[in-house]
Structure 1
Amino acid sequence: MDGPERPCPYCGGEATAQGLDVIGHCGAPLCAMARSRALAEEAGVERRRVAEVAREAVAAAVAPVLERVEAETGEAPVLCAVPHRVPVLVPAEESRRADFLAHVAALCDEAFRVEEAEIGAVYDRAAQEPEEPDVVGPACASCRGSCCIRGYSQMAFVKLGTIQGFRRAEPGLTREALLARYQAHFPDESSEGGCLFQGPMGCSLPRSYRAGLCNTYHCELLDALIEETEGAEGPVVVAAADEAGVQVVSIMAPDGRWEEVEH
């Protein structure tokens, strides 16, 4: 039994109570789309709420910086908060390197069964990775790569699509060149429990060598930061904080230049 019927909140038509409890609408395609939009709006509200809570928590700690920036520029800066994680660096493990190269080699074996001309447009890296706003640089650098720790179990997020994306972007790229590319960028020290390529200065791979996910993933605070700074004409102060408080403060000028400062 599906239980008593109730009106769908989007079209007003009859829907089973069980269906509404599970998917939130009657099941019609237009109602499914309306539900998706509503959930996206709710997520946006939650993102902004999380950002506001974080901003309030760090504002007092960086008040001297905010006052100094306003005095120097004549404009009140936008304050944004991001997470922070200090990687614990350990000497590179040959076994981890070998496992990663074996992973890439296996992906290449599968990828190179497909001729370059047959690689679909879905792997077009240029289309998948639009240019990031300037503020993403100081935000992610100040964070120190909290999301990169997940790369440990995911082999730096390198998948079959990553390899095909490289081949589509660089016609003639060989299996050997791909393996050598990664091997040449192994850092001497890596984040303990984190991505193999997360070294002392951040990711040791050039942006164009990374998996697409690494270039496009945004945490909720970063998404909120991008929203808040869109169209901002004044300076932006990025504060990276963990459970112990604010750890890194960066200032970005309107022209995109930025620097870490004492706080």
Structure 2
Amino acid sequence: MKKWAILVAVMLLAINFSFSNGAGEAEAGGKEVVLVYDGDAFFSLISTSLAFHEGKVPMLLFKDDLAVQQKFIDDYGADGLIVVGRHVDAALPCREFLGDAVAVSLKIAEFFGKSSSVVVMPCSMDEYNLSLIATPIACYTDAPILLYDDNDDEIISAIDKLGAENVIGIGSVAIGNVHLKSEEEIYDYISDIRDVGYLAVTNPDDALKPEVTESQEMSFERHMKNIQITILSQKINLVGSDEATFSISVPDGISRIRAIVDVP
């Protein structure tokens, strides 16, 4: 079984496209950039297939404004922006897809118009790793991504409007004629796509859940004496402290730990 690397970046190409800036339509000269709000991890997934659909255009994350991204936009010579997830003030013409991730996925699917394929992913962080590694399927097949959140009617309606005959359900999603429920099934499906001409690599920790190699329970006790007074909502320690510090040892070769603290 071939394991293809996970696609998270887009190649820098450009196409012609019409943008709306809210006051009317403006014709872009062919170099646009997709800007994705980082407030929801699923915005990045559904935007990746959009960036591919628009000609593998650059895709950048933003938080509050474009202070960091503006230099790239200027150097790249972009003449239009596609903004996903949150409004930004920009001098360039913009087409915006706003709302929560589920609503935005439906809007992007509508923008696609018609598509023979569509990928339906669970909008759940419990299965985010599956959705992440399945994102290349949408890119390679030029398909929009729909997010499933117990919204069967909306999903089915969107599929009907797309005219999609190849509906790929990821993880626990029951909708579709193809169901990929595990990492292995997703990798196998990608490996059967014959016209993949390149691969991109990302941090595997984003997609693969860490394996628990050892669990250990430790108990710590310490007598604490603390007297406090509160003045204008500020707590002041008169005697002792309300905090205690304990140390644990981590064996060599362990790169991460998860600590669960239970204070009776």
State the TM-score, normalized to the length of structure 1.
Answer: 0.25
Counting strand residues as a fraction of each chain, which structure ranks higher?
Answer: 2
Higher relative contact order (CA 8 A, sep 6+): 1
Counting helix residues as a fraction of each chain, which structure ranks higher?
Answer: 1
